Amino acid sequence: MRDVFIIGVGQSTFGKLSDRTAADLGVEAVSEAIKDAGIKPRDIQIAYGCRVFDALTTAQSVLKGVGVTAIEMVNVENACASGSTAVRGLWKDIAFGLYDVGVAVGVESMTTSSIAGKLIPPQKDDFDGHLGLTFPTYFALIARRLMETHGATAEDFAMVSVKNHHHGCLNPRAQYKKEFTVEQVLASFMVADPITLLQCCPNTDGAAAVIMCSEDVAKRYTTKPVRVAASVLLSADYFFKKTDLTTVTMGKNACRMAYEMAGVGPEDLDVIELHDAFACEEIIHYEDMGICKPGESISLLRSGATALGGKIPVNPSGGLLSLGHPLGASGVRVIGEVALHLRDQAGKRQVPNARVGMAQMLGGMESGLEAGAAGIHILTI
């Protein structure tokens, strides 16, 4: 197995862009990643594409728009962790020497998808879904447990949203770019008590891409190659094995595997991008990632440690809450975001002197299981 590096990062505009196709957004992201890497489109030997809704030959539909055709292209889906799955696939192909240069691209057009303006509907055999279990209600049940077991308050959940929206104001690509106060977050529509609308990620159209390569290739194109120190993809265990709703065992185990693979620990992380589809969710990942001791996530949040300027900034991009959440793109986007910080190119939201970062994306709600999939990547420079 050999080392794999990220040499190109690209992201499209994020927002409600119903006049643009998913492929068009993908072209914007891949073109930027190719330019950033300094390679020619035809240098790309392998492509991974991902999209969650209305997906069909995603990579081909994007790459024909940048002049890349007639190579091996693989399309994957793993709910919100689709992007992590695409990057993981590309990482394996390069690490095991099948190819030297490739691209992973994630796209989504939520506003034109078959679920536009709706809740993600339950599958016919999704028994709990028909009984009223939706993503917002599930996370509301988690939030309620955090209040019971961790002493969390409604203001704590709102604080996560305030923090990430503040970060989003520093990111020119963010969908919201708007500051909110705790009071404004709490006064917004009650989606599922205690979760209000401004604690939920928006529907977003957008795309993200990364160019990855072997060490030999990386040396030819950049003096700042970002190394993929760990790539882990793990699926969920049965729901009945969960001890409480306040931990995601799948995510916790994937983090442990990633730390072992990278030879680093949570104390070494300088920056984290994670799945904050709902504000309360970010809090449970703090403990699962080990950046605080069990039971101390609320005090970590209140200390300001996870805000820009703090000890371990979480979601400096604005996260899904402010930057937006195009499902297929987010798993790729978090990896690009961490790479930008390690290269000291994240602009106003830069985490100073970042050397080690984690990009996490969890996805899916499968009846009978804890969730769908967890993708964890640790990057170093």
Partner 1 sequence: MEKILIKDGILVEGPEGVTLAANRCKSCGRVFFPKSKFCLDCQGNELEDIPLNKQGKLFSYTTPGMPSSHFKPPYAVGFVAMPEGLRVFAPLDIIADKPFKIGMEMEVHEDTLWTEGEKEYVGYRFRPL
Catalytic residues: 80, 325
Beta carbon nearer to partner 1, 246 or 317: 246
Beta carbon nearer to partner 1, 171 or 203: 203
Residues at the contact surface with partner 1, assessed by CB under 8 A: 119, 121-122, 127-134, 136-137, 140-142, 144-145, 148, 189-195, 238, 240-241, 245
Q: How far apart are alpha carbons 131 and 346 in whole angstroms? A: 44
Beta carbon nearer to partner 1, 241 or 302: 241
Query: Residue 246 Cβ, how far from partner 1 at the closest point, in Å?
Result: 10
Radius of gyration of the chain (CA): 19
Nearest to 92 by CA among 264, 278, 258, 231: 231
Question: What are the beta bridge partners of residue 232?
Answer: 376
Exposed / middle / buried, residue 225 (Cβ in 10 Å: 0-12, 13-18, 19+) = buried
Query: Residue 77 Cβ, how far from partner 1 at the closest point, in Å?
Result: 22
Query: Residue 149 Cβ, how far from partner 1 at the closest point, in Å?
Result: 9
Beta carbon nearer to partner 1, 13 or 188: 188
Beta carbon nearer to partner 1, 289 or 369: 369
Nearest to 359 by CA among 339, 344, 329: 339
Query: Residue 300 Cβ, how far from partner 1 at the closest point, in Å?
Result: 23
Beta carbon nearer to partner 1, 57 or 149: 149
Contacts of 240 (CB under 8 A, 6+ apart): none
Q: Which residue has the tokens 């998808």?
A: 113
Q: How far apart are alpha carbons 178 and 170 in whole angstroms? A: 10
Q: How far apart are alpha carbons 112 and 177 in whole angstroms? A: 23
CA quadruple 217, 222, 224, 226: dihedral sign? negative
Query: Residue 191 Cβ, how far from partner 1 at the closest point, in Å?
Result: 6
Query: Residue 375 Cβ, how far from partner 1 at the closest point, in Å?
Result: 24
Q: How far apart are alpha carbons 321 and 330 in whole angstroms? A: 12
Q: How far apart are alpha carbons 207 and 13 in whole angstroms? A: 8
Q: How far apart are alpha carbons 74 and 285 in whole angstroms? A: 30
